[in-house]
Chain A
Amino acid sequence: MGNSVNFSAVLTVWKKELIDHLRDRRTVMMVFMLSVLMGPLLLVGLSFFISNIEEKAEKKEVFILGAANAPQLANFLARQDFTIKDPKPDFRELIKEGKHDAVLVVGKEFGEKFATGNAEVELVYDDTRQNASAQSISILRQIMRGFNGEVTSQRLMARGVSPTVTRVVETRNTNLGTPAQRAAALMFIIPWMALFAGISGCTSIAIDLTAGERERGSLEPLLLNPIDRLSIVLGKWAAVATYAVTIVMLILAGFALTLVLIPLPKLANLISLSAMQYLSFAALLFPFAPAIGALQMLIATYGRSFKEAQTYVTYLIFVFSFVPVLPMFLQIKDADWQLVVPMMGQLMVLNRVLRGETLGAIHFVVPLIICVIIAAVSIYLLNKLLHKENIIFGRS
Chain B
Amino acid sequence: MIEVRDLKKKFGDVHAVNGVSFTAKSGAITGLLGPNGAGKTTTIRMIGTLVTIDGGSVSVNGIDAATDGEGVRRTSGLLTDARGLYTRMTARENIRYYADMRGIDRAKSDRTISRFAGWLDMGDILDRRTEGFSQGERMKVAITRALVHEPMHVILDEPTNGLDVMTTRALRELIKRLKAEGCTVMFSSHIMQEVAALCDEIIIISRGRVTAQGTTQELLTMSGKNNLEDAFVSLADMEDHDANMAKEAA
Q: Which residues of A contact B (CB under 8 A)?
A: 3, 8-9, 12-13, 16, 19-20, 23-24, 213, 216-221, 223-228, 389, 392
CB-CB under 8 A from A23, the residues of chain B are: 88-89
Q: Are B50 and A220 neighbours in the complex by a CB distance under 8 Å?
A: yes
Given A9-B101, A23-B89, decide whether A224 and B52 contact each other with a Cβ distance below 8 A: no
Q: Are B48 and A224 neighbours in the complex by a CB distance under 8 Å?
A: yes
Chain A, interface SS category: helix
Q: Are B80 and A8 neighbours in the complex by a CB distance under 8 Å?
A: no
Given A216-B85, A218-B86, decide whether A226 and B51 contact each other with a Cβ distance below 8 A: no
CB contact between B70 and one of A16, A226, A392 (< 8 Å): that residue? A226
CB contact between A216 and one of B48, B86, B101 (< 8 Å): that residue? B86
CB-CB under 8 A from B74, the residues of chain A are: 226
Residue among A24, A226, A228 with most chain B CB within 10 A: A226
Top 5 A-B pairs ranked by shortest CB distance? Answer: A217-B84, A218-B84, A220-B82, A216-B84, A226-B74
CB-CB under 8 A from B142, the residues of chain A are: 221
Given A225-B102, A226-B102, 5 more pairs with CB closer than 8 A: A20-B86, A216-B87, A221-B79, A226-B70, A392-B50
Q: Are A12 and B100 neighbours in the complex by a CB distance under 8 Å?
A: yes
Which parts of B43-101 form the interface with A (CB within 8 Å)?
48, 50-52, 70-71, 73-74, 78-80, 82-89, 97-98, 100-101
How many angstroms from the CA of A217 to the CA of B85 in the assembled complex?
7
CB contact between B83 and one of A20, A213, A221, A225 (< 8 Å): that residue? A221
Given A221-B83, A224-B73, decide whether A20 and B145 contact each other with a Cβ distance below 8 A: no
How many angstroms from the CA of A218 to the CA of B145 in the assembled complex?
11
How many angstroms from the CA of A223 to the CA of B146 in the assembled complex?
11
Q: Are B101 and A227 neighbours in the complex by a CB distance under 8 Å?
A: yes
Q: Are A226 and B73 neighbours in the complex by a CB distance under 8 Å?
A: yes
Q: Are B102 and A221 neighbours in the complex by a CB distance under 8 Å?
A: no
Residues 11-53 of chain B: 1 if any A CB is under 8 Å from the residue's CB, otherwise 0?
Answer: 0000000000000000000000000000000000000101110
Q: Tell me, yes or no, whether B132 is within 8 Å of chain A by CB.
A: no
Given A12-B97, A223-B50, A389-B52, decide whether A217 and B83 contact each other with a Cβ distance below 8 A: yes
Q: Are B88 and A20 neighbours in the complex by a CB distance under 8 Å?
A: yes
What distance in Å separates the Cβ of B116 from its nearest Cβ neighbour in chain A? 16
How many angstroms from the CA of A8 to the CA of B104 in the assembled complex?
11
CB-nearest residue of chain A to B129? A23
CB-CB under 8 A from A19, the residues of chain B are: 89
How many angstroms from the CA of A213 to the CA of B88 in the assembled complex?
13
Q: Tell me, yes or no, whether B103 is within 8 Å of chain A by CB.
A: yes
CB contact between B84 and one of A3, A24, A221, A224 (< 8 Å): that residue? A221
